[in-house]
Structure 1
Amino acid sequence: MLDALVTWFNERTTTEIVWLGIGTFAQLLFSMRFIVQWIASEKVRRSIVPETFWYFSMGGGIMLLAYAIHRVDPVFILGQAMGVVIYSRNIYFIYAHRKNGTPVEPDVRAGAAKP
C-alpha cells in the first residue's frame, strides 16, 4: 500500500502535487462550514446558520473554483461559481444589516434559543 502511494507521488509533477494540496485544503475549508453550523445549532438547540458559515463557504468555494478551473471541469466550475455568487450575496446581507445597525442574528450571539 505504501509502495503504491510512493509510486503515485513519484509519477506526479510538483505542480500536480501543489494543486492536489490546494484542492484538498479547499475541500477541508469548505467542509468546516458544516461543522461550524452543527456546533452553533447544538448550542441553541435549533437549526441556524452562523455568520462564520458564509466565510468558510466563500473561502472554500473560491479555492474549489480555482481547483475546478485548473482541472478544466465544466460541471465543477459551474457548481462552484454559482455557490460563490450565493455566498457573496449572503455576506453582503450581513454587512448591509451591520451598516444599518440591525443585528444579523442577535439570539445566536447572545446564546439564547428562540421559543
Structure 2
Amino acid sequence: MLERAIAWYQSQSTADLIWVGVGFFAQALFMMRFVVQWIASERARRSIVPDLFWYFSIGGGILLLAYSIQRGDPVFMFGQGLGLIIYFRNLYFVLNNRRNGGAAGTP
C-alpha cells in the first residue's frame, strides 16, 4: 500500500499536489465546525450552534467548492454550492439579529 501511495505521489504534478493540499486544508476547516459545535454544546449541556460554526462552514465550503471545480466533480460542486447558500443565509440571520438588538450569538 505504501508503494502505491508513493507511486501516486510521484505521478502528480506540482499543481495537482497543491490542489490536494488545498482540499485537505478545506476539509480540515469544514471539520472544525463540528468540533466547535461539539465543544460549545458540551459546555452549555445542550445543543448549541455557535456563530463560529457558520464561519468555518463558509471558509471550508468555499475552498471545497474551488477544489471540486478544479477536479471537475459536478456532484461535489452541487453539494458545496448549495451548502454555501445555506451557510451564508444562516450567517445573515445571526448578524441581522445582532444588529437589531437581538441576543448575541451562542458561545
- TM-score above 0.5, yes or no: yes
Q: Distance in 1 between matches of 2:79 and 2:22?
A: 18
SS in 2 for 1:38: helix
Q: Distance in 1 between matches of 2:5 and 2:72?
A: 25
Q: CA RMSD in A?
A: 1.3
**After superposition, what is the alpha-carbon deviation per residue over 1:32-84, rounded to whole angstroms, capped at 9, x for unaligned?**
00000000000010111011000000000010011111111111111000100
Size of the aligned set, in residue pairs, is 107
SS in 2 for 1:64: helix
Q: Is the counterpart of residue 54 in structure 1 residue 61 in structure 2?
A: no
Q: Distance in 1 between matches of 2:65 and 2:7?
A: 28
Q: TM-score, normalised by structure 2?
A: 0.92
What residue number does 1:31 align with?
Answer: 31
What residue number does 1:11 align with?
Answer: 11
Q: Distance in 2 between matches of 1:4 and 1:79?
A: 30
Q: Distance in 2 between matches of 1:3 and 1:68?
A: 27
Which structure 1 residue ranges, 5 or more long, are not aligned?
Answer: 110-115
| 1:104 shift after superposition | 3.3
* Higher Rg of the two aligned structures: 1
Which is further off, 92-101 or 54-63? 92-101
